[in-house]
Structure 1
């Protein structure tokens, strides 16, 4: 796991793990950074016994309290970083980036696609209040470092999505994606990729925060864009047979995206996970940062 940050595994001693160092509450006098929320520490169960094979088995982790960005990093925020540093993304260096063709149902490398024009210049610029996409894991890492933050570990991300608690619900807010006549996330309605009924109002990305917030105050933890995590994409258990990537070849992505539906990836559930290579930019993948409590 990069950046030297690890969650300690729960010790199998039969004794309750010590929690005094987990920061279950924010220390007195410590301010929450602007645009972030405090995620209380605790013991979390990562994965889902009734989930997809790649989400099993459930594993226990101790998580120290931390700060997390309320929303994914926006196009406007990433532009500020680029203007301040002159940073050039990997997609810009390559001259193309991955876009999904909704008509053919295939991925392809679209010439000229990058974070400002995630579907190519001919499709117009990305709105400033939408999550930035076409940023690789390495690009996301560079932004977080510039901002004095880091990428979350996979366990931190799921702990935050579970509201810093032992909740085992399917989503941060409960069991249903459609509540009281309202969609709770930007995801694919219809049958992917043949039909998108657009019942949630969006074909691609949506403005950050358009679908409400979790009990912790986080937004877009389900759907809109997948989010990079710092871990390598590896099986939780000892059976790697259902895993295609070679060890330490892909980085974890969490949260699902506007392309997810139950027949395709179902990634917008709290336990949903996927991965791709760290140099790859995709038009449905973004990120958010976290910060340690000093």
Structure 2
């Protein structure tokens, strides 16, 4: 883990989506954050030690995007060790674990003696703990000196896509084919794209990351909140599916969300921990 200094961060963006506004200032206490996403091998040690059964394993299916239609489907037998389903290659040990729900991620964090970061902590860390206003955790551009800084879903448009001028982003994405210009079509090994100034990797792209925060409008952040069965948890960081003309989710201010039991092939997590108070000898 790395130490993330405390400070004031301005959360959100005036140039992002509606759920990224209004921008607000928050004071963050120092904390520790995993340098890297939790990898498949790490999650396997947790499962073998505790005999834990994930939500996807209990339900019998999990979410995968159909590359031909651009639509999400529930694939029977898709789990953390075979994210695309039975009969497909197993997830490599050094790739981020996916097909884990928020409840699975929280269980792992408890086992490790840690917790999930809040979305404010996550954005503070992504902004380098200095309230950087760069759009990405690494700076201003996705490609620097010909090198991709993250594993994202850059899409190569077909002639039909250009000709049709499809206005619907989801349909437009379905009429495009993925490019491996950044080196990977799907997940990549954790840490493969370098580190930020705080020595954090994959703070944009690869997989979305669960946070401990409930998803709600920033305008309501100080209002009392009672979760319901339909309430969702915030995800941060974007994934290998995100592109500038689809969701642009690898920006530091971008948000996604899902219910706590949802598992998908492009969502993982990292853990956080509190900095002990003076005199705390835990």
Give the whole-Å Cα distance in 2 for the aligned partners of 1:180 and 1:248: 45
Of 253, 268, 277, 2:235 maps to: 253
Q: Is 1:153–2:118 an aligned residue pair? A: yes
Q: Which runs of 4+ in 1 moved over 4 A?
A: 245-248
* Contact preservation (8 Å) 1:66, 1:291: yes
Give the whole-Å Cα distance in 1 for the aligned partners of 2:50 and 2:90: 21
Query: How far has the Cα of 1:158 moved from its partner?
Result: 0.2
Deviations 1:43-73 (A, max 9, x none): 1111011111111111111100000000110
Of 91, 98, 108, 1:133 maps to: 98
Query: How far has the Cα of 1:248 moved from its partner?
Result: 6.4
Structure 2 segments unaligned to the other structure (5+ residues):
158-172, 222-226, 277-282
Q: Is 1:215–2:197 an aligned residue pair? A: yes
* Contact preservation (8 Å) 1:118, 1:283: yes
Structure 1 segments unaligned to the other structure (5+ residues):
1-35, 240-244
Higher relative contact order (CA 8 A, sep 6+): 2
Q: Report the equivalent of 2:69.
A: 104
- TM-score after normalising by structure 1: 0.84
* Contact preservation (8 Å) 2:230, 2:259: no
Q: Is 1:52–2:17 an aligned residue pair? A: yes
- TM-score after normalising by structure 2: 0.88
Give the whole-Å Cα distance in 1 for the aligned partners of 2:30 and 2:153: 33
Q: Is 1:116–2:78 an aligned residue pair? A: no
Q: Report the equivalent of 1:62.
A: 27
* Contact preservation (8 Å) 1:233, 1:248: no
Aligned length: 254
Give the whole-Å Cα distance in 2 for the aligned partners of 1:226 and 1:124: 21
Note the aligned Cα RMSD (angstroms). Answer: 1.6
Of 187, 200, 204, 1:205 maps to: 187
Q: Is 1:277–2:259 an aligned residue pair? A: yes
* Contact preservation (8 Å) 1:232, 1:248: no
Q: Secondary structure at the match of 1:237?
A: helix
